[in-house]
A and B are shown apart, each in its own frame.
Chain A
Amino acid sequence: MGLTEDSQLIQRIIEQDQTALTLLYERYGKAVYSLAYRILQNKTMAEEATQDTFLKVWRQSIRWDSNRGQLSSWLLTITRNTAIDRLRAEKRQTPPESTPLDSIAEPGSDASDPSNRHYLNGRILRDLLTQIPEEQRQLIELGFFQGYTHQEMSDLLDLPLGTVKTRVRLGLQKLRTLWYEINTNPETPQET
């Protein structure tokens, strides 16, 4: 989806055009729901988070700035924040387990299109995550996909707050370095 087409779609949504929202859902609804499910690990909550996400887009579409990134990125950021807010509202009655990234596809669900560039990037990033030390990767998973704050991770894992922050920072820096190496080295295979 090109930036221009996305901009036109958002403009129509700003004008409260239901057809445009339907088109937006058809293009990105699957990605939004998948992310919500990844974070919430619950179908009902994922459906609610998906609804909330598109409702926010309907009411706040004027906030999207095409100069600051793709529409899909903005949508997924809203999705992640919405899902994490919902997770926090659940008070985390039981400590969740860190779920392997490749385990979220349900039986019978569609596989992602392997020709999709974003999908390839994602596969690469998931592989890169495995190259990060376990104690750093675990914190990134908790913080990024489950919305744990540094303090909450410190409490959950009984680690000093400073240690948590350091591990998160080092893990993310390592991930970014690996990502840049992949993207600047033309000899690196793009499929995993």
Chain B
Amino acid sequence: MKNQEYSQKEIEALIPAYGMGMTDADETRQVEAFLRDNPVWQQEVESYRELESNLLGDLPQIDPPAYLLGQILQNITEPTPEPQKEIPLKPPPIISARNRWFLAAVAGLISILGFMALLYTDLREQHASLSMQSTAQVALLQRASRDELISFRLESTDVQDEGRGGVILCNPDERVGVLRTWRFPPLEADQVYQVWLLQGEERFNGGIFQVDADGRSELILYTPDVMGEYNYIGITVEPAGGSHAPTSNPVVRAALYVSEEATDEPQANVDDA
């Protein structure tokens, strides 16, 4: 399509369409250049943006499929071109191998969840009441491993605060788990909670999260290995963005799949900050 330079009158005539997001790339470029030199027209633009907002947001509502949130949460865990927020789970030589495992795990999980999403259509009515009570994350995991779901209770490490706690629901043969917490203390704006999973001597970052006013949260954990490979789980308070290693003592922790050879205490405990 040919590009042409518009006169001021022609650009002014494009302002309504621009405000409504109806101009093509070339028109948009010229209108925006015009607005930089003629900011008085910005108010005119804003008046059409108000119309745009109302027209966009006020359509009859349709429920998205129940599995969509799970797919979105899966997608956000995939590597991005700008991984500045990602925290290395292991020293560099091992990270590559782990990441390949992780990608394979995610791909496998996507396949499983896709199949289970089809089954869910049939199961939806049967489990309607449960769905009303559960979040989409829990529903996701339950669909994936309904028959072998195991829960581990995370206990407070503060004997003065027995109400604080959590639970992780997982299948030992799956690389995913759902973590729920309750009565966690509120954090400062520059803090987050961070999950750590321990596998022998190695420690894995399980993700960061915040809690609501009641100290509750839910988090899906996607792990490089199946959950049955992890011995302990702990949660610490860390600076915003998370840490490479724990910088504080855990607020809750739990033993997961501790082998017969393992000692009572984790080898790479989150306490060793």
Contact = CB atoms under 8 A, between A and B. Distances in A.
Chains A and B belong together in one complex: yes
B241 interface: yes
Question: Which secondary structure dominates chain A's binding surface?
Answer: helix
Nearest to A33: B64
B136 to A, nearest CB: 7
A77 B21 contact: yes
A112 B192 contact: no
B192 A15 contact: yes
Contacts of B89: none
A125 B58 CA distance: 9
B12 to A, nearest CB: 10
Interface stretch (B96-104, B196-204, B216-224): B216-224
A99 to B, nearest CB: 11
A74 to B, nearest CB: 9
A122 B20 contact: no
B16 A33 contact: no
Given A19-B219, A59-B80, A69 B53 contact: yes
Contact of A50 (B48, B64, B217, B240): B64
Given A19-B210, A80-B21, A112-B58, 10 more contacts: A16-B85, A25-B69, A73-B53, A104-B60, A105-B60, A144-B21, A150-B17, A150-B27, A165-B14, A168-B17
Contacts of A101: 59
Contacts, number: 191
B135 A22 contact: yes
Contacts of B72: 21, 25, 50-51, 54-55
A102 B24 CA distance: 27
B47 A176 contact: yes
Interface of A: 11-12, 15-22, 25-26, 29-35, 37-38, 43, 46-47, 50-51, 54-55, 58-59, 69-70, 72-73, 76-77, 79-81, 101-102, 104-106, 109-112, 118-123, 125-126, 143-144, 149-151, 165-166, 168-169, 172-173, 175-176, 179
B64 A29 contact: yes
A34 B220 CA distance: 26
A25 B27 CA distance: 33
B61 A50 contact: no
A176 B60 contact: no
Interface in B155-198: 189, 192
How many of chain B's residues touch chain A, expressed as a range? 35 or more
Interface string B1-31: 1000000000001101101111110010000
Given A18-B76, A19-B217, A122 B17 contact: no
A47 B66 CA distance: 11
Interface string B235-271: 0000011100000000000000000000000000000
Q: What are the 6 closest A-B residue pairs judged by CB atoms, nearest first?
A: A122-B58, A33-B64, A172-B16, A105-B60, A149-B24, A76-B56
B71 interface: yes
A2 to B, nearest CB: 15
B16 A169 contact: yes
B107 interface: no
A169 B17 contact: yes
Contact of B62 (A109, A149, A151, A179): A109
B63 A30 contact: yes
B209 interface: yes
